[in-house]
Structure 1
């Protein structure tokens, strides 16, 4: 069984939200029911990681309303992420759900088969989360994330409170950030910057104990 690291940087930082992709369900505050993976088991491991780049909020989420988080390697600094050790098939099913395609379908199976050969970036077609990016290795297994191929081309948009609360909970779980650090990190992200203040996000973060 091939295992790889799925690297989350948005609401999937929080394990309770990520489990909707794994075992199905609707996240608190979200507008979408997820089918789940063919293999619904939790990741074998989860590790907080930082990768060069940052996150930006853009376009409009059909789950949360407001801007969606995208990983952008061209941004300065480090993105606070969480790496989940999953099977290649689980990753294919996660990516399929991001694309609103069925877990276990042709797209998911083809992507799982492609992963061993992805050296940098692979585009899987049109859509917001259509690009798989390899982010190096952790403990001998490759790390991949899912984002847009050209984040700078997307219209910036402020995220909703519910979305920020899930990300806040995930940053606390994965990195042990306190509310003030969470607020500084998110308030600086393009799309949120100038719309959400540090104080406002810090207040949201205090009520964001939604993981578990």
Structure 2
């Protein structure tokens, strides 16, 4: 199945810690990792029906964090990782701040069959099926509430930068498109100016391109 990441896990390097364990850069807690640490079979850019909004208060980032709401208008940009059902359950369990194994496979089957499985009233404790791609179900996790039920909370600059870098890495969007997307989302709209978000996105895009350039140069030198 596809795990659709729409927040900081759009960064492949950050997501890897949820598979193998350890503390991501900038993180305040260690990830125990999955019982199956193999990398995803494939990755792909995804557009989910609905949208993201920013709410709650993050202990790691400060400020609001992204939640997926399938009832919002538009689409939510995400990155799909083709993983096993067991890996998806372990990833979701870690986002719920629980050590794997935590969620039974019957709750995953419920989400696949009905489109939704509510496991608790906390953040990221609701599994949502957001469609199908290449014959595999697309699933993610979010809060049980909708955007209309909570007060928007603007995200911190470094969280916006993390999302901007992930959007560029996953979708190859430029800074202008990233700024348009983020400033249209509840929690950013009315709190952050487009110009400021565009500056954050431009720095994030440059950092991603520089990292990619260094990696490509290393591969070339190694092959030579």
Normalised to the residue count of structure 2, the TM-score between the two structures is 0.86
What SS does the corresponding residue of 2:163 show, helix, strand or coil?
helix
Aligned length: 205
Q: Which has the larger radius of gyration?
A: 2
**Map of 1:41-190 to 2, 5 A cutoff?**
41-104=38-101, 107-108=102-103, 110=104, 112-118=105-111, 119=113, 120-151=115-146, 152-190=148-186
What SS does the corresponding residue of 2:107 show, helix, strand or coil?
helix
Higher helix share goes to which structure?
2
Separation (CA, whole Å) in 2 of partners of 1:32 and 1:115: 26
TM-superposed deviation, 1:31: 2.3
TM-superposed deviation, 1:184: 1.0
Which of 181, 201, 207 does residue 197 from structure 2 map onto?
A: 201
TM-superposed deviation, 1:179: 0.6
TM-superposed deviation, 1:113: 4.1
Match of 1:34 in 2: 31
TM-superposed deviation, 1:126: 2.3
Separation (CA, whole Å) in 2 of partners of 1:145 and 1:86: 12
Separation (CA, whole Å) in 1 of partners of 2:133 and 2:8: 22
Deviations 1:131-174 (A, max 9, x none): 10111211111110101122222221111111111111111111
Separation (CA, whole Å) in 2 of partners of 1:27 and 1:195: 28
| More relative contact order, 1 or 2 (CA 8 Å, 6+ apart) | 1
Separation (CA, whole Å) in 1 of partners of 2:22 and 2:201: 23
Separation (CA, whole Å) in 2 of partners of 1:27 and 1:193: 28
Normalised to the residue count of structure 1, the TM-score between the two structures is 0.90
For the Cα contact (< 8 Å) 2:121–2:144, is it kept in 1? no
Mark the runs of 5 or more structure 2 residues left unpaired by the alignment: 213-224
What SS does the corresponding residue of 2:181 show, helix, strand or coil?
helix
Match of 1:19 in 2: 16
